[in-house]
Structure 1
Amino acid sequence: MLDLINDLLWGKVLIALLIAVGIGFTLASRFVQFRYFGRMFRILSASQAFKRDKHGHLSSFQALLLSVAGRVGGGNIAGVAVAITLGGPGAIFWMWVVGLMGMATSYLECTLAQAYKTAEPNGTYRGGPAYYISRGLGSNWKWLASLYSVLLLVTFGFGFTALQSYAVATSVDDAFGIPVLYTGIGMAIVVGLIIFGGVKRIARVAEVLVPVMAVSYLLVAIVVLALNVTRIPEAIMLIVHSAFGLEQAVGGGIGAAILMGVKRGLFSNEAGLGSAPNVAAVAYVPHPANQGIVQAFSVFIDTLIICSATAFIILLSGAYDPASGIEIGGVALTQASLADHVGEWGRSFVSVALLLFGFSTILYNYYLGENSINFLSEQNKTLFNVFRIAIIGLCSWGAITDLGTVFAFADVTMGFLALANLIALIMLIKPGLRFMRDFDDQIKAGIKQPIFDASKFADLDIDAAAWDIEPEDLQRVQQAQVATPPSS
């Protein structure tokens, strides 16, 4: 039954909706992910007032790293290998397509999450699909918001936390011979120390961990590309030909390539799932579009950069040879491929990378679960603590348990999660475009940093308290404004 539902969701329904939302919003927004690509970098480097203010809000950069911590995980190492094994190299092409369209989808959902966020007494914000569904669609849709929160809690808070623990523990066992139980206990202790500190402590850890793990992985990938520079065009042509069924010997044909590319692409970058908006909403920014643009960049980092790095490591190696009849899948293929390039230490490096990626994803999954609980039972500290203890237990239990059924179940609940969010996004495209046009109009008027005025959207259920910019921050931004409009 799980396989039947899974095939229906991922083989037909979600592909259609992902294409509809991704391409539809790309066209309606006049290719916002490309128009503002350069601004993605400027938003992160400009406006000192919003980087780390004295009131303890999370910055746009911290929220970006927290979302990258969640997007970049096992899917970038093992998921890419699975996509190539089952769908052929062509799956990478369709993963790229999903990534480019997903940038627009992520912009939309994260802009909505920012616009409909709510202010918390402790100087943080709450937001995400449950909030923009209940506020944006009205009280008649509160049931969908609650259903989304339950699915988010079950899928990420519980299911994927256990799965990440299993993936990390088994990889460390294979590479270093450390028993999975010991790895699970170690992760449980460290995770417990961090999550009891709340989202601010999680963000501080991500601020250090994410750049280290991402840059290290990319440096190794660059070394691999340098060693095989003359074969890169050949690998690119293999990907393109396989994507359109022209290399049948190395994959399951165009159907398998599209299916695996879309499925693994969404699993990796999560655009359309609604998971990243929960994190995007916590940032202290002057306009919702700021974080929408930044979060579109996080999809680019995940899919177009890190997933591509893994793909080229595999395709340029001698470990991937479908004609040999020897099948290596998952993380083992990535390990064998890197070892083929740089020697046996490559296997250990992949395990360490998976450990860091998986660990950061567990922290991200915890926050998604906490946000779900907060929506269902606002500020219930007892439930928060029970959930934290459950996460610690899942880190140990997941490491020692065969999670095949859990993975199948999580795949299905993730499908329903995406379905609920994509339906909501389709219904909220109009307010999403209004927020974007407000940003565009201010840019055209020569305003260097647009400011969101909640009173201009009085017909929408916006929490005005969440858009109270501190006077000193507003003054510094206004002083930095320029008379002539900058290029977008």
Structure 2
Amino acid sequence: MQIRLFLESVRLLLEPSEEEGSVSSLQAMLVSTASRVGTGNIIGVSTAICIGGPGACFWMWLMCIIGASSAFIESILAQVYKQYDPTGHAYGGPAYYIEHGLDKPKLAVLFCIFLIATYAVGFNLLCSYNLQSTFMDYSFYNATTPYIIGIIFAILTGYCLLGGGKRIIKITGTVVPFMGFAYVAVALIIILLNYQNIPAMFALIFENAFDFQSIFGGVAGSCMVYGIKRGLFSNEAGVGSAPNASASANVSHPVKQGLVQTLSVYIDTLLLCTATALMCLSTGVARDAAVAGAPYVQNAIYSVFGTIGPIFITVAMDLFAFTTLIGNLYYVDNALIFLNGKTKPSQKFMYIFHMLCAVVVFVGAIIPMDAAWAMADICMGGMTLINLPTCALLGTIAFKCLKDYEAQRKEGKNPVFKGTSIGFPEDELDFWK
């Protein structure tokens, strides 16, 4: 469906919200894209190519196509099992479909704990480290620079968090499209200026991707493993993050939001990750573990734009990292509500928690790279190992929803979902009664 219904996904993206003032599919998708689109699109891809090899690009592409279906199913389940809050707005996510779909409340609690550890700690530590690493090649960089950068972004993050979810949606809706288009445009210019290297570049990617002797000779450090790990880190399909934003969208049918979320995965990996990979590989600049991360990308862009290039990457990283930081913590708020008995924690608790999150941003700027990546991978793995099996067990519900949606579309209707149409008792689904 992620290929067959691609055009339908694009059409749905432009649909307005079902009610004035509520969150539209586009806004919910931008929040999830803000978390997906981040330092992983630059630093993650660079690390995968420098350490795993150019073939990592192919495995990222493959994970993207497969992962789009995971994003589709988890977003539909989030919509089906979402609930009303006292103000009349919708909320939900994996914790809710684990609790009500699988009837495993303790597993739902464990998922929330992993989500908080991943997005409030693991990913934000790594995001902050990656951000400050873009300054390493500047002459002013010294032992105190990471501390200064950490303090600045900790303050900015704390300020945005105090504005709540509405401000987060507004900021991401403004910044994400701008930073995405600007970055892709620059990458495209570099690729076109090195057009003579394009055939050899693709040959290198596929040759390395299918060098099975190399892959199975060192599985942990192979292009396949790095492509899968960094692809998953970048687009987060199946991890269980995006459904928290998907549930907030006010749509007439769950499949609408599921289809829109497939586009978020494509934007992240097929567009932004590919832009980084092809931009770097087309220039032919040296790649090895020593330049893994920001330096490899900065060297590539320097070869075309000179000293302006690294500055652009620093600005892009600042924008990517900032939207990632606030997008990540939007998800965390949803998990805290679940753990607090489906009610928002007290204002005092949230204030203290957000201040601690700002401290994490500071700490991330001063820790070693290996520690930041390890923490992010471990926490993300815990979420995924709970969410993906759940999606498999509840997948039949998503398939029934898709069948119902397509049947209504064939009749020329604007699909409207009713739980009874896919076998639910009339009063079982809180939102869709």
TM-score scaled by length of structure 1: 0.82
* Letter paired with 1:315: L
Aligned counterparts of 1:241 and 1:383: Cα–Cα separation in 2: 53
* Letter paired with 2:325: I
449-458 or 152-161: bigger deviation = 449-458
Return the offset for 1:252.
6.5
| Alignment pair present for 1:268 and 2:237 | no
389-398 or 400-409: bigger deviation = 400-409
Equivalent in the alignment of 2:253:
287
Correspondent of 2:92 among 120, 127, 130? 127
Residue pair 1:173, 1:180 contacting (<8 A) in 2 also: no
Any idea what SS the aligned residue of 1:35 has? coil
Any idea what SS the aligned residue of 2:284 has? coil
Residue pair 2:112, 2:339 contacting (<8 A) in 1 also: yes
The superposition leaves residues 116-147 of structure 1 with CA deviations (integer Å, 9 ceiling, x where unpaired) of 11112234322111111111112xx1111110
Equivalent in the alignment of 1:38:
7
Change (3 A) 1:230 1:66: same
**Structure 2 stretches lacking a partner, 5+ long:** none
Residue pair 1:118, 1:463 contacting (<8 A) in 2 also: no
Equivalent in the alignment of 1:177:
140
Equivalent in the alignment of 1:352:
315
Aligned counterparts of 1:357 and 1:462: Cα–Cα separation in 2: 43
Residue pair 2:82, 2:430 contacting (<8 A) in 1 also: no
Aligned counterparts of 2:106 and 2:220: Cα–Cα separation in 1: 39
Return the offset for 1:351.
1.3
Any idea what SS the aligned residue of 1:33 has? coil
* Letter paired with 1:112: L
Change (3 A) 1:49 1:277: closer
Computed over aligned residues only, the root mean square deviation of the Cα atoms, in angstroms, reads 2.4
Once the two structures are superposed, the pairs formed by residues 449-460 of structure 1 within 5 Å of their partners are 449-457=414-422, 459=424
Equivalent in the alignment of 1:201:
167
Equivalent in the alignment of 2:294:
331
Return the offset for 1:462.
7.5
Aligned counterparts of 1:459 and 1:173: Cα–Cα separation in 2: 56
Any idea what SS the aligned residue of 1:159 has? helix
Correspondent of 2:332 among 359, 369, 393? 369
| Alignment pair present for 1:116 and 2:85 | no
What's the % identity of the aligned pairs?
38
Equivalent in the alignment of 1:217:
183
* Letter paired with 2:12: I
Any idea what SS the aligned residue of 1:241 has? helix
* Letter paired with 2:294: V
Residue pair 1:243, 1:254 contacting (<8 A) in 2 also: no
Residue pair 1:184, 1:399 contacting (<8 A) in 2 also: yes
Any idea what SS the aligned residue of 2:135 has? helix
Change (3 A) 1:218 1:247: farther
* Letter paired with 1:445: E
Change (3 A) 1:207 1:439: same
* Letter paired with 2:331: L
Correspondent of 1:386 among 352, 355, 362? 352
Aligned counterparts of 2:426 and 2:380: Cα–Cα separation in 1: 28
Correspondent of 2:105 among 126, 131, 142? 142
Aligned counterparts of 1:261 and 1:187: Cα–Cα separation in 2: 29
Change (3 A) 1:262 1:367: same
Correspondent of 2:123 among 130, 138, 160? 160
Aligned counterparts of 1:461 and 1:165: Cα–Cα separation in 2: 47
| Alignment pair present for 1:103 and 2:68 | yes
Return the offset for 1:108.
0.6
Any idea what SS the aligned residue of 1:172 has? coil
* Letter paired with 1:308: T
Return the offset for 1:33.
0.3
Query: How many residue pairs are counted as aligned between the two chains?
Result: 426
Residue pair 1:76, 1:307 contacting (<8 A) in 2 also: yes
* Letter paired with 2:307: E
Change (3 A) 1:255 1:332: closer
Once the two structures are superposed, the pairs formed by residues 358-437 of structure 1 within 5 Å of their partners are 358-377=321-340, 378-381=343-346, 382-402=348-368, 404-437=370-403
Correspondent of 2:276 among 310, 313, 317? 310
Return the offset for 1:246.
7.6
Residue pair 2:50, 2:287 contacting (<8 A) in 1 also: no
| Alignment pair present for 1:319 and 2:282 | no
The superposition leaves residues 205-243 of structure 1 with CA deviations (integer Å, 9 ceiling, x where unpaired) of 001010111011001011112202232222112111111
Equivalent in the alignment of 2:204:
238
Any idea what SS the aligned residue of 2:344 has? coil
Equivalent in the alignment of 1:486:
none
* Letter paired with 2:156: V
Return the offset for 1:270.
0.5
Once the two structures are superposed, the pairs formed by residues 26-105 of structure 1 within 5 Å of their partners are 32-46=1-15, 48=16, 50=18, 53-54=19-20, 56-105=21-70
Aligned counterparts of 1:212 and 1:461: Cα–Cα separation in 2: 44
Aligned counterparts of 1:190 and 1:308: Cα–Cα separation in 2: 30
Change (3 A) 1:317 1:49: closer
Return the offset for 1:406.
4.7
Aligned counterparts of 1:461 and 1:309: Cα–Cα separation in 2: 48
Residue pair 2:125, 2:364 contacting (<8 A) in 1 also: yes
The superposition leaves residues 228-286 of structure 1 with CA deviations (integer Å, 9 ceiling, x where unpaired) of 2232222112111111118969x968981211111111111111111111111111111
Change (3 A) 1:192 1:124: farther
Any idea what SS the aligned residue of 2:368 has? coil
* Letter paired with 2:91: R
Return the offset for 1:402.
3.3
Equivalent in the alignment of 1:9:
none
Residue pair 2:364, 2:372 contacting (<8 A) in 1 also: no
Return the offset for 1:403.
5.8
Aligned counterparts of 2:4 and 2:137: Cα–Cα separation in 1: 45
